[in-house]
């Protein structure tokens, strides 16, 4: 189902079947060019498929933005080991709720993307790792998978191409850390979700110690349109180094929150004002998180001229991330926002790397003390120093994910920390409480 009205400013590529009657059914999928991209891929060599994905300039949609075609090309062609396709459907970056819609409204598009990836790297089995809270999506995916088996789109000798592929869903059980690729693989193998040291990367040593392609749901869903319409057409939708569209989740203080498919390079101001209908309650924007809570926070002034793409966000010293946009209005207490973000990372730190385990918990305590009105001036610098000491010192990016927003909030909203000093009550405590909408 659709949870929000589409916007006329959207470019519907991955979401083009959303809203069609029975959009999740195989019939609807087949009547709208479904599985045609796979048939095309079946007539191509693996090298040609990877080349087409490279031409599309598709970059990973889970957060890191790594070029997908290049990732696939790292899988060793001559390995005697079986190879696996793993789908990261552990969507748990705060602010992100897009993969849910892709699986709910168009599960066959994901299956077709996985099949094409399998064909590209000579893999014959795949796992969709879905976060445990998304039980209803496991049911939807299982139903679609059963339908695909029944009609010969999965299993042995798919559509008489000689290509075999088995696909399974796998439930998580509540752990943000398992959205990180190497922790996800540990979890898939039935262990605690603890990151692995890299190299070797999953392309070489992944699931069950075998070469593995691991991408986000949205990344795989982009593959059928790329094969169907050509990599160049997809590339042309985006910006020079990143092709296509991005599912963008507008959340927080915005009039029309929702998930919208926007071309990469979409102007941030137009996105907020016209797609999202402006800031809730006619207030002013104070802060903007472009792609999930692990991204450095940007100020309203920094949104001037900014566009939603990897390079533009990197230039602004933030990240496009997962597409989870969090908008905060002028009444938001940034100390409270920093505290809530840190509470999350302290809860989710897997405990493997000491800078992350200790750093997140120490920062949570400091921020809590600050928000309770017992902060000391020296703590402001200490918060920034502690966070900087976590950067780059952990196996996986969770430490950085906790540190980056914190550093940016301390630097850009230093005065708000000062406003909490000397036992002063939080200046936003009343104003910040929005009437329920």
Of 125 and 356, which has the nearer Cβ to other proteins? 125
Residue 142, SS3 per DSSP: helix
Q: Tokens 């392309």 appear where?
A: 203
Q: Which of 71, 131, 357, 364 binds other proteins (CB under 8 A)?
A: 131
Q: Which of 251, 318, 349, 394 binds other proteins (CB under 8 A)?
A: 251
Report the site for other proteins in 255-284 (rule: CB under 8 A). 257-259
- DSSP letter, residue 209: G
If binding is defined by CB under 8 A, does position 406 make contact with other proteins? no
If binding is defined by CB under 8 A, does position 332 make contact with other proteins? yes
Nearest to 419 by CA among 370, 382, 385: 370
Helix axes 46-55, 107-121, angle to 10 degrees: 120
If binding is defined by CB under 8 A, does position 290 make contact with other proteins? no
* b/e burial code for range 51-64 (CB count within 10 A of at least 16 → b): bbbbbbbbbbbbbb
If binding is defined by CB under 8 A, does position 181 make contact with other proteins? no
If binding is defined by CB under 8 A, does position 347 make contact with other proteins? yes
Of 126 and 224, which has the nearer Cβ to other proteins? 126
The CA distance from 308 to 262, in Å, is 9
The CA distance from 331 to 220, in Å, is 39
Give least dist CB 389 to other proteins, A: 24
Helix axes 377-390, 398-412, angle to 10 degrees: 150
Residues 307-326 as x/- pattern, contact with other proteins by CB under 8 A: -----------------x-x
The CA distance from 125 to 38, in Å, is 16
Beta bridge pairs of residue 127? 86, 168
Of 57 and 294, which has the nearer Cβ to other proteins? 294
For 220-323, strand residue ranges (E) read 245-252, 258-263, 266-267, 285-289, 298-299, 307-308
Of 186 and 309, which has the nearer Cβ to other proteins? 186
If binding is defined by CB under 8 A, does position 386 make contact with other proteins? no
The CA distance from 406 to 345, in Å, is 11
If binding is defined by CB under 8 A, does position 433 make contact with other proteins? yes
Q: Which of 136, 240, 372, 381 binds other proteins (CB under 8 A)?
A: 136
Report the site for other proteins in 47-106 (rule: CB under 8 A). 82, 91-97, 99-100
User: What residues line the site for other proteins (CB under 8 A)?
Assistant: 3-4, 82, 91-97, 99-100, 125, 131-136, 168, 170-176, 187-193, 208, 249-253, 257-259, 289, 293, 324, 326-328, 332, 336-337, 340-341, 344, 347-348, 350, 433-437
């Amino acid at each position: 189902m659709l949870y929000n009205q589409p916007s006329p400013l959207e470019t519907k590529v991955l979401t083009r079947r959303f809203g069609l009657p029975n959009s999740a059914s195989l019939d609807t999928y087949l009547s709208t060019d479904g599985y045609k991209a796979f048939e095309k891929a079946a007539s191509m060599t693996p090298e040609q498929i990877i080349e087409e994905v490279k031409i599309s300039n598709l970059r990973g949609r889970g957060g890191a933005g790594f070029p997908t075609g290049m990732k696939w090309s790292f899988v060793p062609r001559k390995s005697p080991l079986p190879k696996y396709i793993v789908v990261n459907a552990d969507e748990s970056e705060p602010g992100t709720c897009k993969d849910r819609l892709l699986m709910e409204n168009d599960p066959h598009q994901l299956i077709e993307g996985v099949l094409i990836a399998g064909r590209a790297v000579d893999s014959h089995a795949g796992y969709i790792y879905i976060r445990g809270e998304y039980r209803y999506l496991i049911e939807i995916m299982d139903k679609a998978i059963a339908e695909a088996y029944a009609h010969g789109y999965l299993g042995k000798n798919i559509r008489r191409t000689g290509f075999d592929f088995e696909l399974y869903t796998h439930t998580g059980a509540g752990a943000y850390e398992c959205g990180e690729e190497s922790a996800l693989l540990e979890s898939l193998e039935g262990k605690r979700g603890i990151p692995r040291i890299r190299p070797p990367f999953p392309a070489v040593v992944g699931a069950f110690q075998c070469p593995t392609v691991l991408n986000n749901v949205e990344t795989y869903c982009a593959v059928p349109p790329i094969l169907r319409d050509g990599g160049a057409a997809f590339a042309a939708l985006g910006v020079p180094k990143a092709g296509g569209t991005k599912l963008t989740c507008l959340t927080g203080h915005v009039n029309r929150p929702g998930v919208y498919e926007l071309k990469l390079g979409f102007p941030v101001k137009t996105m907020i004002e016209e797609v999202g209908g402006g800031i809730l309650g006619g207030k002013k924007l104070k802060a903007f998180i472009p792609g999930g809570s692990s991204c450095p926070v940007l100020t309203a002034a920094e949104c001037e001229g900014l566009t939603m793409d990897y390079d533009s966000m990197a230039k602004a010293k933030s990240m496009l991330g997962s597409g989870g946009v969090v908008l905060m209005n002028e009444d938001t207490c940034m100390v409270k926002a920093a505290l809530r973000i840190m509470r999350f990372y302290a809860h989710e730190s897997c405990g493997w790397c000491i800078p992350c385990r200790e750093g997140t918990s120490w920062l949570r305590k400091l921020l809590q003390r600050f928000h309770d009105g017992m902060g000391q001036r020296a703590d402001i610098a200490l918060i920034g120093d502690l966070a900087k000491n976590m950067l780059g010192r952990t196996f996986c990016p969770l430490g950085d994910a906790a540190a980056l927003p914190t550093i940016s909030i301390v630097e850009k909203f230093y005065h708000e920390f000062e406003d909490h000093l000397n036992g002063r009550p939080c200046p936003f405590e009343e104003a910040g409480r929005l009437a329920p909408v």
